[in-house]
Amino acid sequence: MEASDVQIREQVPASRKLQATDAKALLSKAAKLIVAKGKKVSEFELGAKPSSEAVDAMLGPTGNLRAPTIVRGNTVLVGFNEGVFEEVFG
């Protein structure tokens, strides 16, 4: 984060488990969702109500929100992929 000069406004500890309800709340304020799982990257254009597919993509196998989850403007980025990270923050 420091290398990209990104300022962290809120950091949630891993002990606080965020789930589907929290994911929906994040998406309600967003226009675009980018989910990175290794080399696989999925993008979702969001409308008034987020699709269950978009919410499910944000969650890990335990049903908790995957990390890192980053909100930048009206874009939500979940997971890490260096190319996507540079595109969003570059």
Whether 5 has a pLDDT exceeding 80, the answer reads: no
Q: What is the pLDDT of residue 4?
A: 58
For residue 2, the model assigns a pLDDT of: 52
What's the one-letter identity of residue 36? A
Q: Is the pLDDT of residue 3 over 60?
A: no
> pTM for the full model?
0.87
pLDDT in tens, 45-59: 998 888 999 999 999
**For residues 88 and 35, what is the distance between their CA atoms, to the nearest angstrom?**
12
Is the pLDDT at 1 greater than 80? The verdict is: no
- Residue 30, CA distances (Å) to 3, 47, 70 in order: 25, 9, 11
49-67 burial: b if 16+ Cβ within 10 Å, else e? ebeeebbebbbeeeebbbe
